[in-house]
Amino acid sequence: MSERTIALVTGANKGIGYEIAAGLGALGWSVGVGARDERRREAAVEALRAAGVDAFGVPLDVTDDASTTAAARLIEDRAGHLDVLVNNAAIAGGAPQEPTRVDPATIRTVVETNVIGVVRVTNAMMPLLRRSASPRIVNMSSSVGSLARQSGAAGGAAPGPPAVAYAPSKTFLNAVTLQYARELSGTNILINACCPGYVATDLNGFQGVRTPRQGAAVAVALATLPDDGPTGQFFEDAGVVPW
């Protein structure tokens, strides 16, 4: 079994996921680049290696049971355990997402990736995480999933336009994160959700105002929490995000 710290980042071929992989790699960790497309995955692995990261490719479509099982087997064969899982992969789901105009199939597709995909990958990796001395799970959420912010209860304008598939998928993910934290309380596994801020990536047609590296910072911080760190919480750079 490898003693090196091993991380897996889903959707790591581009955007914020790529920068999370780069940030964890800069710590000297071995980083699995989870990505569904072979060409994009290998390009990311090559770029990370060129930057000095001990990166390895992990074929992974988070909507596919067989792909997820194979990814867990790959990490088991390579390292025997997993220290950190960053569930970063997600889709926006396209338009329209005004509640009165949405195609219900859009909601189903977005939830399949953004929520069920996280459960599928987390559970496949759980036996490997349980073998780590300090397992951490980071779920990449969004402040658009905050009901306090969407409703105005937290003060200020609601984040993002009405988006009845994407925004509630992150609310659902936050709730799922809490359920894991409840079940895993009393273990050494810390699980938290985070928001990267509004980041210029493919997800929003590069309309965001932050860089992917800035967006990755909160996930890197949660991936490196000390053993007495928080669990079952929702963070952004500025601190706790209200549910």
Ligand X SMILES: NC(=O)c1ccc[n+]([C@@H]2O[C@H](COP(=O)([O-])OP(=O)(O)OC[C@H]3O[C@@H](n4cnc5c(N)ncnc54)[C@H](OP(=O)(O)O)[C@@H]3O)[C@@H](O)[C@H]2O)c1
Residue 198 annotated as catalytic: no
Which residue is it, tokens 């399949």?
A: 112
**Minimal distance in Å, beta carbon 215 to ligand X?**
6
Residue 78 binds ligand X, judged by CB under 6 A: no
Residue 55 binds ligand X, judged by CB under 6 A: no
Is residue 216 within a helix (H) or strand (E), and if so which, with residue range? helix 212-223
CA 136 remoteness from chain centre: 12
Residue 213 binds ligand X, judged by CB under 6 A: no
Question: Which window, 5-13, 50-58, 70-78, 95-103, contacts ligand X (CB under 6 A)?
Answer: 5-13
Residue 36 binds ligand X, judged by CB under 6 A: yes
- C-alpha 129/C-alpha 80 separation (Å) is 10
**Annotated catalytic residue, options 18, 166, 180, 198:** 166
Which residues, at least 6 apart from 63, have a Cβ–Cβ distance to it below 8 Å?
112, 113, 116, 117, 120
Residue 204 binds ligand X, judged by CB under 6 A: yes
CA 199 remoteness from chain centre: 14
Among 5, 13, 30, 174, indicate the residue that binds ligand X (CB under 6 A).
13
Among 5, 68, 88, 122, indicate the residue that binds ligand X (CB under 6 A).
88
